[in-house]
Amino acid sequence: MSETIIRIEHLYKTFGTGDGKVEALQDINLDIQKGEIFGIIGLSGAGKSTLVRCINLLERPTSGTVTVDGQELTALKEKDLRKARRGMSMIFQGFNLLMQRTSLQNICFPLELSGGKGDKAAREKRAKELLEIVGLPDKADAYPVQLSGGQKQRIAIARALADNPQVLLCDEATSALDPTTTQSILDLLKKINREMGVTVVVITHEMRVVEQICDRVAILDGGVIQEQGDVSEIFSNPRTEAGRRLVMPNGEKIHVLPENRLVRLAFNGTTSGEPIIARLAAQQGICLNIISADTRTIGDKSFGTMVLGLPQDETEAARALIYLREIPGVTAEEVTDLVQ
**Binding interface with ligand ATP (CB under 6 A):** 15-16, 22, 24, 42, 44-50, 205
Nearer to ligand ATP, 47 or 61 (CB): 47
CB of 81 to ligand ATP, least distance (A): 19
Work out what residue 15 binds among Mg ion, ligand ATP, none; the CB cut-off runs from 5 to 8 Å by kind.
ligand ATP
Nearer to ligand ATP, 46 or 324 (CB): 46
Comparing C-alpha atoms, which of 198, 202, 175, 226 is closest to residue 40? 202
Other CB atoms within 10 A of residue 206 CB: 16
Task: For residues 38 and 117, give the distance between their C-alpha atoms in angstroms, rounded to a whole number.
Answer: 29
Write the DSSP assignment of 241-304 as a string of letters. HHHHHHHSTT-------TT--EEEEEE-SS--HHHHHHHIIIII----EEEEEEEEEETTEEEE
By the 8 A CB rule, do 305 and 233 touch?
A: no
Work out what residue 47 binds among ligand ATP, Mg ion, none; the CB cut-off runs from 5 to 8 Å by kind.
ligand ATP
CB of 93 to Mg ion, least distance (A): 8
By the 8 A CB rule, do 7 and 30 touch?
A: yes
Nearer to ligand ATP, 175 or 260 (CB): 175
CB of 241 to ligand ATP, least distance (A): 17
Nearer to ligand ATP, 32 or 265 (CB): 32
Comparing C-alpha atoms, which of 218, 285, 255 is closest to residue 46? 218
Comparing C-alpha atoms, which of 309, 332, 213, 317 is closest to residue 260? 309
CB of 8 to ligand ATP, least distance (A): 15
CB of 40 to ligand ATP, least distance (A): 9
Nearer to ligand ATP, 127 or 203 (CB): 203
Stretch 33-92 residues interacting with Mg ion (CB under 5 A) = 48-49
Work out what residue 261 binds among ligand ATP, Mg ion, none; the CB cut-off runs from 5 to 8 Å by kind.
none
Nearer to Mg ion, 49 or 226 (CB): 49
Nearer to Mg ion, 2 or 44 (CB): 44
Residue 311 CA: distances (Å) to CA of 253, 258, 295, 314: 20, 12, 23, 7
Size of the site for Mg ion (CB under 5 A): 2
Nearer to Mg ion, 173 or 320 (CB): 173
Task: For residues 55 and 42, give the distance between their C-alpha atoms in angstroms, rounded to a whole number.
Answer: 17
232 binds Mg ion (CB under 5 A): no
CB of 33 to ligand ATP, least distance (A): 23
By the 8 A CB rule, do 237 and 268 touch?
A: no
Task: For residues 17 and 33, give the distance between their C-alpha atoms in angstroms, rounded to a whole number.
Answer: 35
Any alpha helices (H) in 87-230, and if so which ranges? 103-114, 120-133, 149-161, 179-196, 207-213
Work out what residue 205 binds among ligand ATP, Mg ion, none; the CB cut-off runs from 5 to 8 Å by kind.
ligand ATP
CB of 50 to ligand ATP, least distance (A): 3
Task: For residues 161 and 199, give the distance between their C-alpha atoms in angstroms, rounded to a whole number.
Answer: 12
Work out what residue 106 binds among ligand ATP, Mg ion, none; the CB cut-off runs from 5 to 8 Å by kind.
none
In sign, the C-alpha dihedral spanning 263, 269, 272, 276 is negative
The residue ranges that bind Mg ion (CB under 5 A) are 48-49
